[in-house]
A and B are shown apart, each in its own frame.
Chain A
Amino acid sequence: MRKALIALFAFACTSLLQAQMISAPGINFLKAEYGHTFSFTEIGRSFTGFRAVGFGGYSFNTGEGKSLEAEVVLLNQLLKRWNNEDSQANISIGGGVGRGRSGGREGWAGTLSAQADWEDRHWHIMLQEQAVFVPSGSRLASTLMGGWAPWLAEYDEWAPWIYWTLQHENGQGDGFTHGPSLVLMHQDLLLELRVMHSNHGYHAEAGIRSLF
């Protein structure tokens, strides 16, 4: 029964969810987040509307001397997009190869990621899995985000979104972290301010995404 529920949840998520940074052909992107235990920066270029390449830097600082860092060359692929009259859903994956270090050891590193999301102009839900592997360990960050737009704004106006984020990282020992965030979108820019709560208290986090 439990397996069936997990499978149902996974199916529900993957059939609903959307994309990582893949843009239209010939457009560059920047995506960066600073978090209490997980921070990253990705910069790249979409060569088609379904494929992007770039560079990514990842840093897990999960306490107790278990930090992990990696810098990789990335390939993001949009597997499937559903375009409806009033909504859009995406499933995308990504992978990267580069160098990483953890616990004083350095070597080859790899990343794998999967994202799914669904959104209309009022609601947005996203599930993201981000795994980073280095010779001396690995980390998996799972993020589930749900957002709501209190009012609708046009492309040339500031569009506000209120999100709730639930995050889990293996090896962290903190269990789940969660909290609200405010997202502001204006033309090519997205800014996010988040307050996450964990067993260790409250932490401010921030993110930025941009197309250029």
Chain B
Amino acid sequence: MKKVLHLFICLIGLTAFASASPNSDVKPYPLDRCIVSDEKLGSMGEPVVFVYQDQEIKLCCKACRKDFDAEPQKYLEKIKNNGADAKKAVTSEGQSSGGTVVRLTVDGLVCNFCASNITKTFSKLPEISAVYVNLAAKTVLLELKSGQKLPEEKAKEIVTEAGFNLREINYPKESFDSIKVTLKKNSNSK
């Protein structure tokens, strides 16, 4: 009887230990930067921390949580590669060394259907890996696939064919996600 009681206590103990440490299989977040925006964790207040599919995630702010939830697998893949993409995009000086980012300022970009048209137009191009349109900033942000280029003349032609006017084109040093987050924050604060 004593042995049965002992075994019972041990079982309870083991169960309690197992339930008290449910995160024992959770992989720690390997980066000191937000996987969405590349911002330094803590630079925008207390990081947002949660677990997704046994992977600890740390984001710089709540706005990035929306982006993460929209494409969780993309960011899990980034983390899986030990943040290789994020590190590639931003060097210690904040200079981009990854896929080229192109920022277009477009006249006539005023409504959702305008945004939809230009998003679909650029998404069809083989050299484009990501498109983000911000109406408040009249901006079309493009991320090019590795080794690809988008000369100004071609960008202008595409924007004109889509029914808009290209006002300005530049090639920022920051990463695509970083600029996207900044644009979103700016438009939310307006």
> Chain A: residues with CB nearer than 8 A to chain B?
22-27, 48-50, 78, 81-88, 119-121, 124, 152, 154-155, 159, 185-188, 190, 209, 211
Contact = CB atoms under 8 A, between A and B. Distances in A.
A161 B164 CA distance: 23
A188 B111 CA distance: 11
B161 interface: yes
A84 B163 CA distance: 12
Contact of B115 (A50, A83, A87, A155): A155
A190 B112 contact: yes
A82 B164 CA distance: 9
Contact of B108 (A78, A88, A159): A88
Contact of B120 (A86, A121, A211): A211
Given A78-B163, A154-B134, A119 B111 contact: yes
B12 to A, nearest CB: 50
A209 B167 CA distance: 29
A49 B184 CA distance: 28
Contacts of A82: 108
B115 to A, nearest CB: 4
Contact of B135 (A26, A121, A190): A121
Given A121-B135, A154-B184, A155-B112, A48 B161 contact: yes
A190 B113 CA distance: 9
A24 B163 contact: yes
Contact of B161 (A25, A85, A120, A185): A25
A24 B162 contact: yes
B114 interface: yes
Contacts of B161: 24-25, 48-49
Among B107, B116, B121, B134: residue with most chain A CB under 10 A: B116
Interface string B131-170: 0011110100000000000000000000011111101000
A209 B113 CA distance: 10
A155 B135 contact: yes
Given A25-B162, A27-B117, A211-B117, 9 more contacts: A27-B121, A88-B108, A121-B111, A121-B135, A155-B115, A186-B112, A188-B116, A190-B112, A190-B113
Interface string B98-138: 00000000011011111111111100100000000111101
B81 interface: no
Given A27-B120, A154-B184, A50 B112 contact: no
B187 A152 contact: yes
Contacts of B116: 155, 187-188, 211
B136 A154 contact: yes
B108 A24 contact: no
Given A49-B161, A49-B162, A152 B136 contact: yes
B190 interface: yes
Contacts of B110: 86-88, 119-121
A83 B164 contact: yes
B112 A187 contact: yes
B112 A83 contact: no
